[in-house]
Chain A
Amino acid sequence: MADTTNLSRAGAVPAHGDSPLVRRTLIAVALGFLGLFLILPLVLIFSQALAEGVRVYFDAIREPDSLAAIRLTLVTAAIVVPVNTVFGVAAAWAIAKFEFKGKSFLITIIDMPFAISPVVVGLIFVLMFGATGWLGPHLAEYGIHLLFTPAAIVIVTLFGTMPFVARELIPLMQAQGTQEEQSALTLGASGWQTFYHITLPNVKWGLLYGVILCNARAMGEFGSVYVVSGRIRGETNTMPLHVEVLYNDYMITAAFAVASLLALLALVTLAAKSIVEWKIARDMRLASAAAGEAPAPDGESAP
Chain B
Amino acid sequence: MSSAGTSNKPAPGHVSASGQLQQRRGLGDLIAKKPEMVTLGLLIAICIAVAIANPAFLQPSTLIDIGRASVVTGLFALGVFVILAAGGIDVSFTAIAALTMYSITLLAINHAPNMPIYVVFLIAVAGGIALGVLNGFLVYTLRVPSLIVTIGTQYLFRGGLLAFVGTTWIMELPGQMGTFGRISLLEFETANGATVSLPVYFLILPAAAILTWWIMRRTLMGRAIFSLGGSPDVTARLGYNVKIVHLFVFGYAGALAGLAGIVHVTANRLANPFDLVGTEIAVIAAVVLGGARITGGTGSVIGTMLGVLLVVVVDNVLVMVGIPSTWQRVFVGAFILLAAAFFVTRQRKFKPAK
* A associates with B: no
Please list the residues of chain B having a beta carbon within 8 angstroms of any beta carbon in chain A. none
Please list the residues of chain A having a beta carbon within 8 angstroms of any beta carbon in chain B. none
